[in-house]
Structure 1
Amino acid sequence: MARPVRRPGNLPADATSFVGRRRELALVRQTLAKARLVSLVGPGGVGKTRLAVRAGTDLVRGFPDGAWLVELADIRDPALVVHAVIAALGLRDQAMVEPAALLLSYLRDKRLLLVVDNCEHLLATTAPLLVKVLHAASGVCVLVTSRETLSVPGEHVVVVPSLDLPSAQPTLPLAQLGQNEAVRLFVDRAEAVGRFELAAANAPAVVELCHRLDGLPLAIELAAARTKVLSVPQILARLTDRFALLTGGGRAVLPRHHTLRNAIDWSHDLLTADEQTLLRRLCVFAGRFTVDDVETVCAQGIPATSVLDAVSSLVDKSLLIRDDAPDVACYRLHETMREYAGLKLRGAGEEESIRRRCAEYYRDRCLRTLPDVRYHLLAWLDWMDLEIDNIRSVLYQCVLRADRQLGLDLAGAVGWYWATRATSEGVRWLDELLAAGPEDPPHVLALFMRGFLAVLQADPGCAGPLLRRAAATAERVGLVSVQAHALSLAAIAAHVTGGDGTSRDLLAAAAARAEDLDDYLATISVLQAQSLIGIFDGEHAAVRAAASTGIRLSRAAGDPYALQMMLANLGLTAMAEQDFDEAEPLLTEALHIARRLDDRVAQHHVLGALACHAAATCQPRLAAALLGAADSLQASIGTTLAPYLATDLDKAYEMTRAALGDSTQKACLENGRRMSRDAAIALALGETAATDGKASTDAGPLTNREAEVARLVADGLSNKQIAARLLISDHTVDSHLRRILSKLGVRSRTQVATWIAESD
C-alpha cells in the first residue's frame, strides 16, 4: 500500500473529541471554495477555535504547502502580530529584512491555508496585514476566528452559533437524544471525568442544563467537569439559582455573554479559597507556564504543599488547560478564562503587585542564568521557547509603564534568544526601551546586546557606535570582560565599513583586555573576531591560528555557539586552500551543531559551503540539490550568504551545469528547493542520498534514514540494537528518534509504531 502524502503544517491534533458542527464545517468548505478570506465570528466560548482547526484539518489536502495555525490569544503587543505569523510558519527572524517583507516574500508562491485564531483584540494590526498577504500571495487562503469581523474588502463571514439543542420537552429515545450536539458534548466530557451515563433519570436535567447554558461549548464543559462530585440535577439547581439572581427570579433568557460569565461564576464559587486566589493570579501569564512559575509568582499566602494540588484541581474542573512542552508539564488559560481571572484580580486589588512580582521573577531568572547561557544554550533556548510569550508580555508592560530599567535588564538578559530566534524583535524592544528615558547612566548590557544584534543583521553602521559606547561604559564600571567582547564586535563592524586601521586598533585593545583577564568569554570573542576578519582578508594563517585555538577552547568549555562558528571558519579556510578532506568533517560538525541549536543563519551558510564542497569533489547532483536547498532556506530567513562564499557559489553553479546539463541541473536544483529544511540538512550530512530531481514522498515527512529508524522502532528494537543494525552510534539513533517524534507530532515509541502500521 502506498504511504499517504503528509502535508506540511502545524495544526494540532484534537486533545478531546470533536462534537457536531457538520453544517458549519460544510459552510466553511463552501465559502472557502469561492472566497480567500473567511472569518468565523461568534462570542467567547462558542467553539470558534475548535471549528477552525477541524476545518483546516479537513481542507489541508487542497493546500500543497499545508495549513498553519497562528495563535494570537497570547499576544498583547500589536507589533508582534507579524512575528507570530512568521513563527507559526517556521520562518526565522534572524536577518535585517523586516518581518513583514520576509513574510510576503516567502508566501508569494505558496499554496497554503492560514488559520488565524483569536484576533479580536488586535484587529487594527491583523486586518491590514492579512490584506497585504492576500494581495501578495494569490495561492494563500485565510481562515480567521474573532468575536467581531475584520471589516475588510473580500471578507466572507460565517457566524458560529451555539451547539444544536434538543427539544425542551424531551420525547426522543435516549440513543437519539445522545446524538444531539449539546447533549453529546456534555456526555462526552462527563464521561471523561468519571463514571457517567445518559439515562432516563437524568436526561431531562441534562436537556434543561444544555438549554440553560445556551448550548455554549465552554459553559457545557465547565458544567460537565462538575459531574465528578455533583449529580446533574444538583448542577442544574445551583446554576438556576445563580441565574435567577439576574432575571429577578423569572426565567428570562440571558444574553450569551451573561450566560457564559455566570456559568464561570458558578464554577468559580465552588472553588476553595486557595483555588480562587490561584486562578485570578494566573492571568498574569500571557502564555504557557509551569508549576515553578506559579509557585514563585502566584503562591504567596498559599501553602507550598497545596500549589500543585490546586493546579491539578483547576485542570480537572476545566478552568485551566494542560498544554505540555516536550518533557515539561505546562498549563495555560483559555482566553475567556484569562479575561475573567483578570477581572477578579483587579477586584481583589492585587493586579499591580502580582504583575510586578511576575516581571521581577522573569528579570531575575534571566539575569541569574545569563552568565552560563553559552554553556547550556540548548536547554536555555528550550526554556525560552516555552516562556517567550510571558517575557514579551512583561516587556510590553515595561514599555507601557515606562519601567525602563526593568525592561532593559530583561531585554538584555534574553539577548541570546534575540540572536538565535528573533533578531528584529529584539532590536525593536531594545530601541524602544533605550529611547524611553535619560541615557545617564547608560545600560551596558542593553547597549552591548543592541550592538551585537546589529552585527548579526549586517548593519555595521549602527553596530559600531553602540558597541564603542558599550565598551566605554563597561570600562567605566569595571566590566572588563564585557568591554573585551564589545571591542571585538566593534572591530568586526569597523572592518566591514572599510575602517581597517580602526578595526586593528579595536581588536588589539580587545586582545589586551582578554589577556589581562584570562577569561574564556573575553578570549573566545577575540578569537572569533580574528578568525572572521582573517576570512574577510584571505589571511589563511591567521584564520587557522585563531579558529584552531577557538575550537579547542570552546569544545572544552562546552560552548556550542562558538564551536559552530570556529569549525565553519576553519572549514572555509580549508576549502579556500583546496584541502577538501580537511574541510568536510569541519563543516559537517558545524552543521550538526547548527541543527541542534536550530540556528538557521548558520545552517544556511554551512549548506552553501557544503554545496561548494560537493561541486569541487565531483558530486554534481548533491551539489545542485544543496544549492537549491540553500536558496529555499534563504527565503525563509531573509538573509544572504556571506560575501566570501559568493565566488565559490558561482563556480558551483557553473560546475554542476557543466557536469549535468541544463535540464538535469534544473531538476536537481528544484528538488533541493522542494526539500524541507530537515531533509536538506540530512542530505548534506550524508544521512540520505541525492536524487535526480524526482521528489520522493514515500516516507511522508521522514527522511529515508528516519523512516528506516522508525521501522526498526516499530519492530521493537532498542536504540542500542538499532545502532548495531545500522552501524551508527547510539547518540545518532537518539537524534533520529527525537526528530521522528517531532515531525510526526507524537510522544512515544508506541505511537511511532502505530504510524508505521497505518502508513504501510
Structure 2
Amino acid sequence: MATRSRRPGNLPAEATSFVGRRHALAEARKKLADGRLVSLVGPGGVGKTRLAVRLATDLARGFRDGAWLVELGKLRDPALVTHTAMAALDLRDQAASEPRELLLRHLRDAELLLVVDNCEHLLDAAAELIGEVLRAAPAVRVIATSQAPLRAAGEHVLRVPPLSLPADDPLERLRENEAVRLFVERAAAASGDFELTEANRAAVVDLCRRLDGLPLAIELAAVRTRALAPAQILDRLHDRFALLARGTRAALPRHETLRTTLEWSYDQLTSAEQTLLSRLSVFAGRFTLDDVEAVCCFGDVPAAQSVELVSSLVDKSLLQREPAAGSLCNTAVYRLHETMREYAGSTRSPDGLEQRWVDHYLRRCARFGAEGRYRLVEWLTWIEPEIDNVRALLRALSDDVRGVALATSLIWYWVTRATTEGVRWLDELAPVAAAPWTYFARGFLAVLQSDPVVAVPVLERGVLAARAAGQPDVLSQLLAMAAIAANMAGDRPSAERLLDEAVALSADRDDVGATLMVHQARTLNALGDGDLETARSAAADGARLSRRAGDLYSLTMMLLNQGFAALRSGDADEAERRFVEALPIARRIDDRVAQCYLLGGLGACAASVRDPQRAAQLLGAMDGLCVEVGVIVNKGMAPALSSATESVRAALGPARFESSLRDGRRMSRADALRLALREVAAPGPNGPLRQREKDVARLVAEGLSNKDIGARLFISERTVESHVRNILNKLGFHSRTQIARWVAGPESTATAPVT
C-alpha cells in the first residue's frame, strides 16, 4: 500500500486565505525555474512573506527534502544568521564542527527549497550565507524576501507590487479584484456577516485605493468593520491622510500610507491597549502571556486585564498568535509583525520598561542555571521560543558583569542545543569578569567539542579561581572536568591526580552535581584506558544517582557509558538493556550526540545476535547523524563500533553491507530511532521508495507525462524515466496504471486487475 508520510519542511500553515497574486506567483515560478535565487523585494506590509510562503508551499512537493523557512526578522546579530538557519532546518549545534560547516555539509546533497525571510537588516550576512549555500548545494534553490536586493551572484529580483487596485467596475467583476477580495474576506472574518454590496462598493473601492493596495493596511482597516461601516472607516482615514498631506491631494509614499494606517489603528485603541501595544515592542522575538504579565503589566495596565487586552490586540490583527512546535503545542506564543513592532516602539514612553525586561529575563535565566540540570525538559521548553529575547539581553549586557553570569547560567542550553554559540558568548563576555563557574562552563563546552587544547588551560584557571574563592562545590566539578580534559589530551598522570582530588573533595560533601561529575570522569577515563570494570561500576553508580536526582542529561550519559562498557566486556544483553533505556530519554531531551552513539551501540548489539542487516542500517544511521551533528567518535566507544562494523561486513558481504549501510544513512532521524527501539520493522532488501521516487509516483498518478513531471520537479526527462523504472522494479509492477493504483491506496490496489 502507499505510504503517505509527512512532507519534510517547516512552512507554517496559512491561518487566513491567500488572496490574489496570480501574476506574481507565475513570475516568481518562472524566475525560480531560470535561476536558483529569487529575491522578493518590496516595502514593509506589501505581502512579501505571504507570497514567499505560498510560493514555497506550492513548489514543496517538487523537492525531495521539502521547503524550509528561515526567519531573520527577530534576529539582530549578523553573527547568528547561520545558527538561525540551522535551527530552522532542525540541525543541532552540539558538537565539534563549526555551524557553517555543518549547515553546508547537510545541504550538499539535499534537494530542497529554502525561504530566507526578512533579510533587509542583515543584507551582507544573509547574502554571504545564501551564496555559500548555492555554491555548495547544487540542488538547493532559495527564495529571499527583503526591502532591498541582496546583490548576490545569480540573484533574480522580483519587485512585489501592492495588490491590484480596483476600477469602477460592475459588482461581479469588482469582487474579482485582489485588493477588494482581501478587504471583503478579512471583513467577513472579522464581523461575521460582511458582504460587498451596491451600497458599500464605492467606499470599499476608495478604501483600497486610499491604502495603495498594501495588504497589511487593508487588513487593519477591514478588522474595523466589526464596529464601523466602510464609509465611516474611509472618513476617518481620509481625515488622517489629509492632515499628513497638509491638504494637498498628492499621493503619499507607500511607507507613509502604511505608517498613517498604523497610527490610525493605534488611535482606535483604548488607553490600556495603546500602552500595552507600545510596551510589547520591548520583546526582541516571541513571548508568552507570563512574559507580558511580568514585564508589561504595571501602572495603568494591571495583570488582571492581560488576557483580555492581549486577546483584543490579536482580534484587531495588531498582535499575532503563533502555534508553538513540539512540547510547546499547548502554550500560546505571540509576536509583533516587524512593521508593527517598529511602529509600536516609536510610541513607547520612558517608564522603566527596559529595566523590567532585563530583570525578568535575568531572573528566569538564573533559575534556569540553578534548576535546569534537574528539570531539563521544562526549562528547554521555556527557553526555545524565548532565545531571541535572551540573545538580545546578552548583547545589551556585553560590557556588564551580569552578562557573564547570564551566559554562564545558560550552560544546559549551550550543552544540549547551541555549543558553538555558547563558546562565542562565553569567549566574548568572560574578559569582563570570569568566575569559577564561567571557567567550568567554557571548559565543559570545549570537552564536548573534543578540544583539549582549549579545555585544559581554561579548566586550570578555573581550579585556581575556585581555590582562591573558597568554593569547594565548583572546585570539585572543575577538577573532575579537568581530569576528563587531561585524559583527552593524553596526559594520564595529570588526569589521575586531578580525579583523585575531585573524588576526595566530593566524598566530604553531600553535593549531587559534584558526585555525578566525578562518576562521569571516572567512567570516561576508565573507558578510554580500557578499564572496563571501573567504567561499569562508576557508570552504574552515576545512573542510580541521576535517576534519583532527575538529571536526565547525566542519566543518558551514564547509561550510554554503562552500555559501551558492557558491550566491550562481551555482555551484549546488558548493553542493549542500557541503550534501550537511554534512547527514549535522549529522544525526549533531544540530545543528538547521545542519539548518535546509541544508534551505533544498538547496531553493535544487533551484530552480536546475528541480525546483520538491521545492524548495518543502524550503523549507517549513526554515520548519517554523526555527519549531521559533527560528532567525533569518542575513543572509549570506537573499539566496539569498529568491531561491529567488521563483523557485519563479513556477514553480509561487501555489496549487501554497503547497500544496508546506505539505507541507514538515508533514514530520517525519527525513523532511525524507531528502528533502533523496534517500533518499526527493518526495511526489506528493496527498501521503501525514496522520497524523490514517491514524488514521481504521485505525479504519475496525476496523469502527468515524464516531460511534465520533469518540469514540475526541476529535473530532466531522462532522470524521470530512471525514477519510473526504479519504482516499477521496487514495487514489482510493469505499468504506470499500477503505480497510480498503488498511490491511491489499499482499496484501489486490492481490486486492481493486473494490466
1:420 aligns with 2:423: no
Q: 1:258 to 1:693 in 2, by over 3 A?
A: farther
1:163 CA drift (Å): 0.7
Spell out the pairing of 1:479-518 with structure 2 (5 A cutoff): 479-518=471-510
Partner of 1:38: 38
Q: 1:342 to 1:321 in 2, by over 3 A?
A: same
SS at match of 1:643: coil
State the one-letter code of the partner of 1:414. L
Check the 8 A contact 1:671/1:693 in 2, yes or no. Answer: no
Check the 8 A contact 1:604/1:641 in 2, yes or no. Answer: no
Structure 1 residue runs without a partner (length 5+):
703-754
For 1:585 and 1:243, locate their aligned partners in 2 and report how far apart those are by CA, in whole Å. Answer: 72
For 1:322 and 1:43, locate their aligned partners in 2 and report how far apart those are by CA, in whole Å. Answer: 23
Partner of 1:158: 158
Of 543, 553, 558, the match for 1:561: 553
Of 464, 468, 484, the match for 1:472: 464
Spell out the pairing of 1:332-343 with structure 2 (5 A cutoff): 332-343=335-346
1:444 CA drift (Å): 2.7
Partner of 2:706: none
Of 210, 220, 223, the match for 2:221: 223
For 1:697 and 1:328, locate their aligned partners in 2 and report how far apart those are by CA, in whole Å. Answer: 37
For 2:147 and 2:11, locate their aligned partners in 1 and report how far apart those are by CA, in whole Å. Answer: 21
Residue identity (%): 54
1:699 CA drift (Å): 11
1:429 CA drift (Å): 0.7
Partner of 2:184: 187
1:62 aligns with 2:62: yes
Partner of 2:655: 663
Partner of 1:733: none
Partner of 2:278: 280
State the one-letter code of the partner of 1:192. A
Check the 8 A contact 1:4/1:698 in 2, yes or no. Answer: no
SS at match of 2:114: strand
1:756 CA drift (Å): 13
The range that moved more, 71-80 or 250-259, is: 250-259
For 2:296 and 2:451, locate their aligned partners in 1 and report how far apart those are by CA, in whole Å. Answer: 42
Check the 8 A contact 1:398/1:406 in 2, yes or no. Answer: yes
State the one-letter code of the partner of 1:113. L
User: Once the two structures are superposed, what CA deviation does each residue of 1:307-346 show, in whole Å capped at 9, x if it has no partner?
Assistant: 222111111111100013211111100011111122222x
Check the 8 A contact 1:588/1:685 in 2, yes or no. Answer: yes
Q: 1:147 to 1:580 in 2, by over 3 A?
A: same
1:659 CA drift (Å): 1.9
Check the 8 A contact 2:2/2:746 in 1, yes or no. Answer: no
User: Once the two structures are superposed, what CA deviation does each residue of 1:484-539 show, in whole Å capped at 9, x if it has no partner?
Assistant: 11111011001111221211121122112211111111111111111111111111
1:288 CA drift (Å): 0.9
Q: 1:698 to 1:86 in 2, by over 3 A?
A: closer
User: Once the two structures are superposed, what CA deviation does each residue of 1:325-372 show, in whole Å capped at 9, x if it has no partner?
Assistant: 211111100011111122222xx235xx32232122111111124222
For 2:63 and 2:505, locate their aligned partners in 1 and report how far apart those are by CA, in whole Å. Answer: 57
For 2:98 and 2:261, locate their aligned partners in 1 and report how far apart those are by CA, in whole Å. Answer: 44
User: Once the two structures are superposed, what CA deviation does each residue of 1:430-483 show, in whole Å capped at 9, x if it has no partner?
Assistant: 111113x3x4xx323322211111111111221122223223323433432222
1:597 aligns with 2:586: no
Check the 8 A contact 1:115/1:144 in 2, yes or no. Answer: yes
Partner of 2:606: 614
1:639 aligns with 2:607: no
Structure 2 residue runs without a partner (length 5+):
695-744, 751-755
Q: 1:525 to 1:15 in 2, by over 3 A?
A: same
Spell out the pairing of 1:244-393 with structure 2 (5 A cutoff): 244-301=242-299, 302-325=301-324, 326-345=329-348, 348-350=349-351, 353-393=352-392
State the one-letter code of the partner of 2:180. V
Check the 8 A contact 1:664/1:692 in 2, yes or no. Answer: no
Q: 1:228 to 1:479 in 2, by over 3 A?
A: farther
Partner of 2:124: 124
Partner of 1:396: 395
User: Once the two structures are superposed, what CA deviation does each residue of 1:632-658 show, in whole Å capped at 9, x if it has no partner?
Assistant: 111211112222333333333332222
Partner of 1:716: none
Partner of 1:715: none
SS at match of 2:388: helix
State the one-letter code of the partner of 1:163. L
1:398 CA drift (Å): 2.0
Check the 8 A contact 1:395/1:410 in 2, yes or no. Answer: yes
Check the 8 A contact 1:621/1:660 in 2, yes or no. Answer: yes
For 1:696 and 1:91, locate their aligned partners in 2 and report how far apart those are by CA, in whole Å. Answer: 25
For 2:131 and 2:206, locate their aligned partners in 1 and report how far apart those are by CA, in whole Å. Answer: 44
Check the 8 A contact 2:64/2:691 in 1, yes or no. Answer: no
User: Once the two structures are superposed, what CA deviation does each residue of 1:70-96 show, in whole Å capped at 9, x if it has no partner?
Assistant: 000010000000001111111111112
1:230 CA drift (Å): 1.5
Partner of 1:82: 82
1:248 CA drift (Å): 2.0
Partner of 1:744: none
Partner of 2:728: none
State the one-letter code of the partner of 2:318. L
For 1:307 and 1:697, locate their aligned partners in 2 and report how far apart those are by CA, in whole Å. Answer: 51
For 1:549 and 1:313, locate their aligned partners in 2 and report how far apart those are by CA, in whole Å. Answer: 55
SS at match of 2:16: coil
For 2:748 and 2:511, locate their aligned partners in 1 and report how far apart those are by CA, in whole Å. Answer: 55
1:424 CA drift (Å): 0.1
The range that moved more, 10-19 or 663-672, is: 663-672
For 1:493 and 1:316, locate their aligned partners in 2 and report how far apart those are by CA, in whole Å. Answer: 55
For 1:519 and 1:653, locate their aligned partners in 2 and report how far apart those are by CA, in whole Å. Answer: 41
For 1:419 and 1:50, locate their aligned partners in 2 and report how far apart those are by CA, in whole Å. Answer: 35
1:587 CA drift (Å): 0.9
SS at match of 2:69: strand
The range that moved more, 504-513 or 651-660, is: 651-660
SS at match of 1:242: helix
Check the 8 A contact 1:3/1:759 in 2, yes or no. Answer: no
Partner of 1:407: 403
For 1:462 and 1:254, locate their aligned partners in 2 and report how far apart those are by CA, in whole Å. Answer: 58
Partner of 1:724: none
SS at match of 2:323: coil
Partner of 2:574: 582
Partner of 2:517: 525
SS at match of 2:156: strand
CA-based RMSD of the aligned residues comes to 2.2
Partner of 1:726: none
SS at match of 1:323: strand
For 1:377 and 1:581, locate their aligned partners in 2 and report how far apart those are by CA, in whole Å. Answer: 29
SS at match of 1:543: helix
1:210 CA drift (Å): 0.6
SS at match of 1:271: coil
User: Once the two structures are superposed, what CA deviation does each residue of 1:200-236 show, in whole Å capped at 9, x if it has no partner?
Assistant: 2111111110111001000011111111112111111
Check the 8 A contact 1:3/1:699 in 2, yes or no. Answer: no
1:664 CA drift (Å): 2.0
Q: 1:395 to 1:695 in 2, by over 3 A?
A: farther
State the one-letter code of the partner of 2:419. T
Of 621, 625, 630, the match for 2:617: 625
State the one-letter code of the partner of 1:318. S
User: Once the two structures are superposed, what CA deviation does each residue of 1:640-699 show, in whole Å capped at 9, x if it has no partner?
Assistant: 222233333333333222222233222211211111101001101111111235343599
State the one-letter code of the partner of 1:588. V
Partner of 1:728: none
State the one-letter code of the partner of 2:350. G
User: Once the two structures are superposed, what CA deviation does each residue of 1:532-581 show, in whole Å capped at 9, x if it has no partner?
Assistant: 11111111221122111111111111111111111111111110111111
The range that moved more, 575-584 or 461-470, is: 461-470
1:758 CA drift (Å): 14
Check the 8 A contact 1:611/1:626 in 2, yes or no. Answer: yes
SS at match of 2:347: helix
For 1:250 and 1:332, locate their aligned partners in 2 and report how far apart those are by CA, in whole Å. Answer: 37
